[in-house]
Structure 1
Amino acid sequence: MNVHPFIEAEKNAGHSIKRACDLLKVSRAAFCARRSDKPSERRRQDAELTERISQVHAGSRGAYGSPRVHAALQQAGTSCGRRRIARPMREAGLTGRCRRRRVRTTVPDPHATFRPDLLNRDFAPSTRMNTRWCGDITYTATSEGWLYLATVIDIASRKVVGRATADHLRTSLVTKALTAAWQTRKPRPGLTFHSDRGCQGGFN
């Protein structure tokens, strides 16, 4: 049976710890050592704060860092400083996500020759294959940096007929995509190709 709670009650009542330990045949040193292991009020508050921080962080799907977690807690009525938030987050391994810098792939070349829109923005599918193509460039983030993808699509079938990837946005990226599409389909004369007025000469 653990008699330490009885000794603690005697202490709170103003009685002698030594006499209580002698009567219950408990080492006074052991009792004092056990009392020192109890969590302090600061530790208890830190544990509660960490729990609130974890809830806010999980609610943001791991996107919030300490500034936004601090703002959310302040709005919810929890008053504390930003540094008080940052330390428990660091100890719990909670970090926010930084938005990646957006990459513009459609940058009109002011010196490029103007080309009329031969499709008149009509991208509806048709039954005639290899008469209308369109192309564009997209990108995705990888562990080694940005990866750019140039595609050529047959509007009639919505099928990608040519593509190329590279770690740059130079003209060679899109000319490779167009070359791949040409070699795959070998269209007859009269094909119309549409693209945005980007900085890559191959798509113009």
Structure 2
Amino acid sequence: MAYGAGHSKKSGQLLCAGFGLKYEFIEAHASTWPVKRMCSVLGVSTSGYYQFRKRLRLNGRCEASPRLLTEIRTIHAEMKERYGSPRMHAELQARGYKCCRNTVAKVMKTAGIRASMPRRFVRTTDSNHSLPVAGNELNRRFDSADAPDRLWTADITYIPTKEGWLYLAVVEDLYSRRIVGRSMDRTMESRLVVDALAMAVETRYPAEGLLAHSDRGSQYASEHYQRLLEKKGIRCSMSCRADCWDNAPMESFFASLKKELCHRMEYKTREEAKRSIFEYIEVFYNRIRRHSSLGYVSPDQYERAVKVA
């Protein structure tokens, strides 16, 4: 139906909104098929389509926004709704789309596309112990690593399942933000953090002098963990008491894990959670997810670029 004198501006907007996806399809394929033919097949008016195009220009959105919106929706689904506009813009550029970051943000906002939001979670640090603790050698110099395996940071979090808590310990390389060690178990004993550190050592073969930073929880202060550090020639650094900012990269990783995966799942068993977290870390986070501190490339891409250089 074409717009006539009896149609108000508001009713025209509602009609356009109702046919929005069809208009976007027509705009994206206008260079392939005649507009009039597509309008007829899709049951929309040509005048409505041109009103739709006019509104795009008046709103300051680029001519390619329908095609852009289609690609944004595709990426949003592929990344399981994990990307906000900055990472979405970086992904679009990597796929050859020429558009500014503001345009991507506007298109996503208009379409109601957003990254899943984080929830608050409880810290697992137990600093009320009498074990010796190390000084804060890292002192928040998170960007001071000039090569891989010079600075590692470690921490523990928990994942709810219907069987009970699943505890996750990870080790992150601050140079590339890659998760180089991980361990999961039903308890938070020292074995949990030792296994994560052992995995990191066995897969990365760090040279002596590596600095490993953690909080001052009992697991990291334990003789079990400290003995492995000493055996491998790894120096120990610990956060100040009750200061989460001293281990901010780990807080950031856990926030991403919870927001992008765990808060959207209901795990029946710990084994189900383990498989899901393994896939998130090894398939998505390390190899695909674009990291803002790395110029919006993945840890794997960042490390490979260093090796080539």
**Per the shorter chain, which TM-score range?**
0.3 to 0.5
Give the structure with the larger helix fraction. 2
Give the TM-score normalised by structure 2: 0.32
Give the structure with the larger strand fraction. 1
Give the TM-score normalised by structure 1: 0.48
Q: Which has the larger radius of gyration?
A: 1
